[in-house]
Amino acid sequence: MKFFRSLLAKYMLIIITALFLFQFIIFLTATLLFNTGMAKERNENFMPTVIEDKWHEQASNLENDQKKINDFFARWKEQYPDSSMFWINEKGTLQLQLDLEENVPSNWTATTTARFIKERYDSDPFTVIAFVGKEEKEGFVVFEIPRDKLNKEFYEEYGDLLLGIGVIILILFIAISFLFFRSIQKRLIYVQEAMEIRDTDHLPVQIDVKKQDEIGQLELTFNKMVDELKKSKRREQEEEQLRRKLIANLSHDLRTPLTKLQANLSILQNEDQTEVGRQIIQVMEDSIQSVDGLMDNLISYTLLTASKYKYSPEKVDMIRFLRTSLASWYPLFEQEQFEVDIQLDSVKIGEWYVDPLWMERILDNLFQNVLRHAKSGRYIGVRIDTTSTYEVIVMTDHGKGMKHDSDEKGAGIGLSIVDVMIRGLDLEWELASTENGTTIQIKKHI
């Protein structure tokens, strides 16, 4: 990034401009005022410093002579009509006065003099005290003039104006700084909001980069990240596609020969068979079903443990769900002459937040297990129950229990799937198995 495009450079520019502008405008104003206002209209003689110097100078040239001093006063009066003057002689007596408005003591002591000086110092009227003559022994002359008749000093006259200009420039600087930072803030908020927008694929969308400064760089980096995310998502989808295809092909390639086997067995079954022949065909058909189920479970288990099994939970009315599942399993239990004992009306349970396909798989595996391994009991009971903390689905069979070696093995993987799925659905399950049967409880915390 170029330095001159950065926000830092911009802000430095604002500060430097403000500083230089401040100096420059003050200087310019002062010069302008000085050159125009002062020189033209002001008489130098009305400057306090000029008066002071002149009074001192002329007083030092005087002598202790009433007439001369009177003339001196008259000359000054001519030039400064609003002024008043008086002379205190060497004895401390008020010797001469001109247009004095206030009462001045006639006899001056050291105290009177000190009080007078103290009173007049830096106040109105403007007062100048000077000794008569060079010896400082012949008394002193005092010149008074109201301050409003005098010229003001330059800073006295224009100080407020200059201060005002300074304040305006300062306020301007603060306002520009404020606008500058607000524009940054606005852009940051915009970037934040843009980052929160999601595309149809649930990934963030790219931001339109307008400027090449720090925020622009941030946006560029963000866009790069979005790009990488999209790529990675695409890769994941491709892998997913490949995996699905592989499984589909594998499933197809394994099941086609099984189907052929089934086809040939069926043809064989249509021929005249001995009792042994029929039994062999039956065993082979059962084996086909068993291999089929195992393949299904194996694929599911692989997917489940790799967290690749599709999971989309929703609210499910469990009673209705159980009834539908049982409706599809009932004929199979009926065929095997099971007593099917269903009690779903006794208590009411709420909706469960589960993936119906997972739940279906759990129930299918459990019912399949009962059909395969608890055939001897000829009983399946399904009921629902509630406790203060749980809603429970209870499945009971009267088989010989899980420990007993069933004629058909392979229950392991089916139950492993049930276990992984139940935990995945945030449910709990308990399995109690004795020689007189097995009870499975699927529990949901209320």
Partner 1 sequence: MVHILYIEDEKEIGNWVKEELIEKGYKVTWLLSGEGVEKYLSMADIVILDVMLPGLDGFSIGKRIKNEYQKLPILMLSARTAVEDKIEGLGFADDYVTKPFHPKELIARVEVLLRRFNKKDQIIELQHLTIDPQDFQIVNRETREEILLTGKQYAIFQYLFRHANQILTKEQIYESVWEEVYIENDKTLMVHIRYLREKLEKDPANPTIIETIRGIGYRLKE
> Interface with partner 1 by CB under 8 A: which residues?
244, 247-248, 251-256, 258-264, 266-267, 285, 288-289, 292, 295-296, 299, 310, 319-320, 323-324, 326-328, 330-331, 340-345, 348, 357, 382
Nearer to partner 1 by C-beta: 126 or 333? 333
Nearer to partner 1 by C-beta: 39 or 327? 327
Element (H, E) at 32: helix 7-33
Tokens of 359: 């739940």
Q: How far is the CB of 342 from partner 1 (least distance, A)?
A: 3
Q: Which residues contact 206 (CB under 8 A, 6 or more apart)?
A: 223, 226, 227
Nearer to partner 1 by C-beta: 330 or 379? 330
Task: Report whether the peptide linkage leading into residue 125 is cis, meaning its omega lies within 30 degrees of zero.
Answer: yes
Q: How far is the CB of 9 from partner 1 (least distance, A)?
A: 56
Assess contact for 204 and 229: CB atoms under 8 A.
yes
DSSP symbol at 145: E
Q: How far is the CB of 333 from partner 1 (least distance, A)?
A: 11
Q: How far is the CB of 436 from partner 1 (least distance, A)?
A: 23
Q: How far is the CB of 385 from partner 1 (least distance, A)?
A: 14
Q: How far is the CB of 351 from partner 1 (least distance, A)?
A: 12
Which class for 5: exposed (0-12), middle (13-18), buried (19 or more C-beta within 10 A)?
middle
Q: How far is the CB of 380 from partner 1 (least distance, A)?
A: 11
Q: How far is the CB of 320 from partner 1 (least distance, A)?
A: 5
Where residue 337 falls (left for φ over 0; alpha for ψ -120 to 50; beta otherwise) is left
Nearer to partner 1 by C-beta: 7 or 326? 326
The residue type of 287 is: S
Rounded to 10 deg, the angle between the 356-373 and 275-305 helix axes is 150
Nearer to partner 1 by C-beta: 231 or 323? 323
Element (H, E) at 77: helix 66-79
Closest alpha carbon to 104 in 74, 84, 79: 84
Sign, CA dihedral 112-113-115-120, equals: positive
Q: How far is the CB of 425 from partner 1 (least distance, A)?
A: 15
Element (H, E) at 441: strand 437-445
Distance separating alpha carbons of residues 403 and 373, to the nearest angstrom: 11
Nearer to partner 1 by C-beta: 107 or 249? 249
Assess contact for 75 and 61: CB atoms under 8 A.
no
Nearer to partner 1 by C-beta: 159 or 277? 277
Nearer to partner 1 by C-beta: 60 or 368? 368
Give Cα 370 distance to the centre of its chain: 56
Name residue, tokens 């980096």.
221
Nearer to partner 1 by C-beta: 77 or 308? 308
